[in-house]
């Protein structure tokens, strides 16, 4: 809310107040702005005026009200700058994160190995294992166990986790490399060897084709002979399997659609 200056009133009530004399008042402003009441009566003048108006009567209430009104009109203070909101302290993170989908079970097993000689904590780990997997209750219980570890136990736990070797990546099968085609399409075009779906078929789905010589289905990854000229000259699809295109097969062209 708004802030206002203050004023201290030191009042002495002489004998005969209020019938024959008024109170003796000393006013001491507190925190008034430098330009307060510019062009208006000062606070001291307001006090003197209130005492004159109340001559012969009880003047204290009227005096206090006059001072309060003057402070409200002329003693408003500028707003204090807001103190910056302190940032919450960062939580100390655990060396092991129990928020991943598969770490809880691994962490329980690692803790059981680490705490093999502590029957009480191993009993608690068995209880944690029985909680709903990945539940908030299980994660909270595991965090409590982590915080109970000594520095040596934590170091041993983190070390055992980092020592585990990642699974080696499975080697990719090498691409099939076909020999040059030994047959031609019915129009006499030379066939081109591919080890994947030919670029002409980039808009087609599927990884299989039908050999237009023997009629058998094949997979592009095992190689295919394709006539690029037929496709360019009218969208004709002509393909041959490795056996037929390499000269080891034969048969009447069938020209089936690709799948």
Q: Where are the domains of the chain?
A: 3-77, 103-161, 175-259
What's the pLDDT at 259?
47
What's the pLDDT at 161?
54
* Higher local confidence (pLDDT), 257 or 156: 156
Q: What does the alpha-carbon distance between residue 55 and residue 17 come to, in Å, rounded to a whole number?
A: 10
Give the residue from 224, 174, 216 showing the smallest Cα distance to 195: 224
The C-alpha angle 195, 198, 201, rounded to 5 degrees, equals: 145
170 pLDDT band (50/70/90 cuts)? Answer: low
Worst-scoring range by mean pLDDT, 26-30, 33-37, 125-129?
33-37
175 pLDDT band (50/70/90 cuts)? Answer: confident
- When pLDDT is averaged across residues 73-93 and rounded to a whole number, the result is 71
Contact criterion met (CB below 8 Å) for 18 and 58: yes
The region that residue 153 occupies, defined by phi over 0 for left and psi between -120 and 50 for alpha, beta otherwise, is alpha
DSSP tag of 4: E
Name the one residue in this structure whose structure tokens are 């097969």.
249
DSSP tag of 38: T
Give the best-scoring range by mean pLDDT among 57-61, 105-109, 222-226.
222-226
Report residue 98 as tokens.
Answer: 């129990």
- When pLDDT is averaged across residues 34-52 and rounded to a whole number, the result is 82
For 132, other C-beta atoms within 10 Å of its C-beta total 8
For 138, other C-beta atoms within 10 Å of its C-beta total 20
Model-level pTM?
0.34
Asked whether residue 223 carries a pLDDT value surpassing 70, the answer given is yes
- When pLDDT is averaged across residues 236-254 and rounded to a whole number, the result is 76
Q: What does the alpha-carbon distance between residue 78 and residue 75 come to, in Å, rounded to a whole number?
A: 10
What strand order describes the sheet that includes 192-194?
Answer: 192-194, 224-226, 239-240
* Higher local confidence (pLDDT), 181 or 83: 181
């Amino acid at each position: 809310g708004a802030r206002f200056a203050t004023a201290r009133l030191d009042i002495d009530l002489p004998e005969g107040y209020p019938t024959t004399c008024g109170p003796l008042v000393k006013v001491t402003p507190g925190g008034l702005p430098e330009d307060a009441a510019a062009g208006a009566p000062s606070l001291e003048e307001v006090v003197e005026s209130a005492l004159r108006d109340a001559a012969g009567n009880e003047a204290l209430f009227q005096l206090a009200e006059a001072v309060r009104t003057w402070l409200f009109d002329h003693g408003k203070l500028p707003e204090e700058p807001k103190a910056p909101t302190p940032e919450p302290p960062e939580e100390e993170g655990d060396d092991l994160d129990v928020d991943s989908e598969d770490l809880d079970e691994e962490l329980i097993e690692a803790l059981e190995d680490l705490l093999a000689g502590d029957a009480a904590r191993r009993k608690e780990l068995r209880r944690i294992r029985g909680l709903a997997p990945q539940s908030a209750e299980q994660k909270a219980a595991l965090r409590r166990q982590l915080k109970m570890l000594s520095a040596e136990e934590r170091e041993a736990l983190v070390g055992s986790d980092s020592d585990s070797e990642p699974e080696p990546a499975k080697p990719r099968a090498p691409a099939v490399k076909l020999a040059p085609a030994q047959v031609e399409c019915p129009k006499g075009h030379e066939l081109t060897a591919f080890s994947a779906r030919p670029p002409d078929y980039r808009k087609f789905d599927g990884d299989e084709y039908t050999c237009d010589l023997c009629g058998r289905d094949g997979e592009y990854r095992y190689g295919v002979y394709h006539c690029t000229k037929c496709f360019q000259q009218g969208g004709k699809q002509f393909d041959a399997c490795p056996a037929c295109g390499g000269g080891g097969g034969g048969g009447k062209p069938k020209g089936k659609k690709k799948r």
